[in-house]
Amino acid sequence: MTEKQLTENYTKKEETKQRSLRIFQMITLIALALFWVGYFYALYRGNDRNMSSYSILILAFTLLNSDVLLAGKKTEHRTLNVLGGLNALLVFICAVITIIQVIWK
């Protein structure tokens, strides 16, 4: 009886953990998309101070959500998969552009 209860409690804890992880991924991927929009708007306006702030935020949120973006771990929602792939592509492009700018100067 206790083994059965322990396995039920364990599965409930795992389900709760997966649900909270999914919600966290949703929030961070949506925030990453918004940060990218802000970054490109600052780039369009030519505001270097905002660009550097957005790039730090993008880097921090990318590291928080590295399971989805860098490890290729799939999320359960198709929209989040698209956002994760898009953000991973933008981080790669940003890194390449930064390397080219450093070499150029």
Interval 4-22: pLDDT, tens:
666 666 677 777 877 877 7
Boundaries of every domain in the chain: 2-104
Asked if the model's pLDDT at residue 35 lies above 60, the reply is yes
pTM of the shown model: 0.57
The pLDDT of residue 71: 57
pLDDT per residue as tens digits for the range 64-104? 776 655 555 665 667 667 777 777 787 788 888 888 888 88
Distance CA 29, CA 75 (A): 11
Round the CA-based radius of gyration of the chain to a whole number and report it: 18
Asked if the model's pLDDT at residue 42 lies above 60, the reply is yes
DSSP 73: P
